[in-house]
Structure 1
Amino acid sequence: MTLKHVTLLASLHLFCVPAIAAPWTQNLYFENDLFADTDQSYTNGIRLAWVSPDIDTYLYDPALPAWLREVNYWFTPLYPHPENNKDDIHRNLVFTIGQQMYTPEDKARVTLDPNDRPYAGWLYAGFGYHAKTNNKLNSVELNIGVVGPASLAEDAQNLIHRARGIDLFQGWDNQLKNELGLQLVWEYKHRIAKQPLFGRFGYDVITHYGGSFGNVGIYANTGAEIRFGFHLPDDFGTSALRPGGDNSAPGNADPRLRQGWGVHTFISIDGRLVARNIFLDGNTFQSSHSVDKKYLVADAAFGIAGVYNKWKVSYAQVYRTKEFEAQKDAQSYGSFTVAYSY
C-alpha cells in the first residue's frame, strides 16, 4: 500500500466520523427556602437561561441570525476579551428571564415591620456575552426589569400558596414601589486545577470574581468551587441563581455531547462586599421601607450533580450569612438546576 493510499484511507476515515454538533443549552434554575422549612427573606427565585452554541464572533458568525448580529453591534462595548490569542476563544450568547421575591418573617402582620426587611419582587430579562478558553470564562450580563408590584411577585406567591394550602402573606401592600431596575454584571472564572485521581475520577477547582453595578445592586464578589466525581462536566461549575452565574455551554470533552454520563459532588463559596442592595436599601428615587444592611455577606453551598446523555441536574443546599443588622438568623435555602443541551 502506497503513502497515497494510506492518506486517502485516513481522509475517508475522518470524513466518516460524525462531528459533535455544537448545542444550545437551556437552563432552569429554581431556588426556595421551602427546602429549609422556612418561608421568609429570600424566599423564591426562578430563572430560565438559554446559552448559544460556541461561536467564533458575535458579529459575523453565520450560525447567528442576521437580526441578532445587528443587535450585537449595539453592545460592542460590553464584549468580554479573556485572552489575546483569538484562535483559542469560543463565544456564547446568553438570554435570561427570571423573578425573585423577598418577604419578612411575620406573614400574618399587615402593618410594616420596621425591624424586618421590605417586601420586594424583581422581574427581569437579561442579555449576556461569554468568551472562554479551556480554563477561563469571562462573562458580561445586562439585566433590565422592574421592582415593585409590577414584578408580579405577590401574585406569583399567592398563586402557589393557594394551590398548596399555605397561609398567605398579609403585608404585600407595604412592598417596594415600582421602579425600573438596571444591573450590569461582570464575572471572571478561572479553572486553576483539574486533575485525575484514579480511573475516570477526578477533581477541579474553579475560582471567580466580579461585580455588579446599577440601582438594583452594587457589589464586588469573589469565591470558588471544588468538584469531585466521575466524568466531570466540561463547563465552569454548578452555579446557583446569582447574576453572572451561568456556566456557559458544555465544551467538546463534556459527557453530554458524547451520550455519556457522570456524577460529582461540589462545594462552592461566594463572598460579597455590598454597597447597595435595593431589596434592603429600598427604592432609589422614592421614599420606602429600608433596613440597615450588612456590607459583608457570604454564601456557602454543598451539593450533588449528575449528567446523562444531554441532561445535567444538580441540587445544592445554600447557607447565607445575615444580610441586615436586625436579622435574627442566617438563612438557608435549596437550589435546583436542570440543564438540557440540544
Structure 2
Amino acid sequence: MRRVMTAFMAFFLLSLPNAVLADGFAEKLRAGTFVLHTENDKFGGGTDEFYTNGVQATWVSPVLESWEDADVHASIEMLAGSLPLINDERKHSISFGIGHTIFTPVDTQTTEPQPDDRPYAGWLYGTLGLHAKNSKRLDVFELTLGIVGPSALGEQVQNDYHRLIGVDEANGWEHQLHDEPGLMLTWERNWRLFPDKDPARTGGWGFDATPHFGATVGNVKTYVNAGGEVRFGYNLPADFGTSFIGPADGVNAPIDGLEDSRPGFHVFGGLEGKAVARDIFLDGNTWRDSPSVAKRPFVGDAYFGLSVRPSSHFAVTYTQVVRSKEFYGQTHPHVFGSLSLSFNF
C-alpha cells in the first residue's frame, strides 16, 4: 500500500508541470514568482509539538495574456472558462506547489498510545491553482492532492533530522494515522483596500489592508475561513499580503510581475478565523479506525512580522503566529514561526 501511494504522489507531482509544457510554455517556467516556506514551532515557540514542522515550495506563473496564448491544455482552459470566479477580464496566472507537514502530540518520548492528545501524522501533497487578479481583487481556485499516513514519510523526515542535529527522536510514530489519499478543493478571495492611494505603485511610505474570505472542502480539511492583514512600510509590494503554508498559497506574487516590485520593507499584523467541519489530523482517518481527539469547531490565528525586499527580485519575510486551541483537552495555544523567501523573475 505504501509503495502504491508513494508512486501515486510521485506521478501527480511530476505530471503537474507536464500539463503546461506544450509549444514553448517551458520558457515561462523560468519566470514568475517562486515562494519557499519553512514553518516550525521552534521559531518563537521553543516547542516540538502539535503542528511542529512544514515546508512548501510554490511557483506562480507570470501574467498570462490568455489561456490560449499560454498553450494550457484544453482541460485547464475548459476549467478556467467554467468558473465564474476567475472567468472575467482580470489578469490570470497558474500555480504549482509541493509541500510536507508534520503533526505530533506534546509527549514524543513515550511509545504508548495517547488518546487525549493530537495524533502523529504526516501530510505530503501537491497543488494546482488558477489565479485571477487586478489591483483590487484576487481569486484563487486550487486543487490539492496528497497522502496522509506512513507513506507521507513524517516519521522519517522528523527523526532523520533529529538525528542529524543531535535531538531525541520521537518514539510514538507507531500510532500515527493510517495511509489515506487526500483531496481538497479551495476557493479564496482576497481584496486590497485603498487602491486609489496605492503606495506600491507610487512609492514611498504607506499602508494598506488585505482582507480575505474562503472555503476548503475535502477529506483532509473542510472549513470556512476569513481574516485580514494591515501593512505599513516603505514601497509596499503590489500583492495581497503574507503567504503561508497551506491552500491558496502564492498571494504574495506581484500582480504585474517585476514592474510592481521594488526594494522596500514593511511590518504587518493580521487575524484569521476558521469554522472547521473536518480536520483529519484531529478527527482521524475517514474510513478506518485511528487515533483521534475531539476538535474545536472554531480556531483563530493572530500573527505579525517583518518583510524586507533588498531588490525587486527577492524578498524575505518572517511571521510569528499564535494559534488558539484546536481540540478539547489542549492545555495551551500553539506558537510557531514562518519564514518565507520569494524570488521574482
The alignment's TM-score, normalised by the length of structure 2, stands at: 0.85
Other-structure match for 1:31: 39
Kindly indicate whether residue 79 of structure 2 is the aligned counterpart of residue 75 of structure 1.
Answer: yes
Letter aligned with residue 140 of structure 2:
S
Other-structure match for 1:8: none
Other-structure match for 1:207: 211
1:82 is displaced (CA, Å) by 5.2
Bigger mean CA offset, 305-314 vs 327-336? 305-314
Structure 1: where are the runs of 5+ without partners?
1-21
Flag the 1:266–1:78 CA change in 2: closer, same or farther, 3 A.
Answer: farther
Other-structure match for 1:298: 300
1:170-222, Cα deviation, whole Å (9 max, x unpaired)? 00010000000001111000112254799810000011000110000110000
Q: Is the 8 A contact 2:254 2:261 kept in 1?
A: no
Kindly indicate whether residue 165 of structure 2 is the aligned counterpart of residue 142 of structure 1.
Answer: no
User: Which of residues 274, 277, 280 is equivalent to 1:278?
Assistant: 280
1:325 is displaced (CA, Å) by 0.4
Kindly indicate whether residue 330 of structure 2 is the aligned counterpart of residue 327 of structure 1.
Answer: yes
Kindly indicate whether residue 187 of structure 2 is the aligned counterpart of residue 178 of structure 1.
Answer: no
Structure 2: where are the runs of 5+ without partners?
1-29
Inter-partner Cα distance in structure 2 for 1:288 and 1:205: 42
Inter-partner Cα distance in structure 1 for 2:193 and 2:233: 17
Q: Is the 8 A contact 1:80 1:140 kept in 2?
A: no
Other-structure match for 1:187: 188
Flag the 1:137–1:334 CA change in 2: closer, same or farther, 3 A.
Answer: same
Letter aligned with residue 63 of structure 2:
D
1:70 is displaced (CA, Å) by 3.4
Inter-partner Cα distance in structure 2 for 1:317 and 1:81: 32
Kindly indicate whether residue 105 of structure 2 is the aligned counterpart of residue 101 of structure 1.
Answer: no
Other-structure match for 1:264: 266
Inter-partner Cα distance in structure 2 for 1:199 and 1:172: 51
DSSP 3-state at the match of 1:110: coil
1:54-96, Cα deviation, whole Å (9 max, x unpaired)? 01323x02xx3x4x43341463476453585x2xx10010100
Equivalences for 1:187-266 in 2 at 5 Å?
A: 187-194=188-195, 195=197, 200-247=204-251, 249-252=253-256, 256-257=258-259, 260-266=262-268
Inter-partner Cα distance in structure 1 for 2:342 and 2:159: 28
The alignment's TM-score, normalised by the length of structure 1, stands at: 0.86
Inter-partner Cα distance in structure 1 for 2:215 and 2:332: 26
Q: Is the 8 A contact 2:133 2:255 kept in 1?
A: no
Inter-partner Cα distance in structure 1 for 2:82 and 2:122: 27
Bigger mean CA offset, 147-156 vs 192-201? 192-201
Q: How large is the Cα RMSD of the aligned pairs?
A: 2.0
DSSP 3-state at the match of 1:34: coil
Q: How many residues align?
A: 311
Kindly indicate whether residue 326 of structure 2 is the aligned counterpart of residue 318 of structure 1.
Answer: no
Inter-partner Cα distance in structure 2 for 1:321 and 1:98: 23
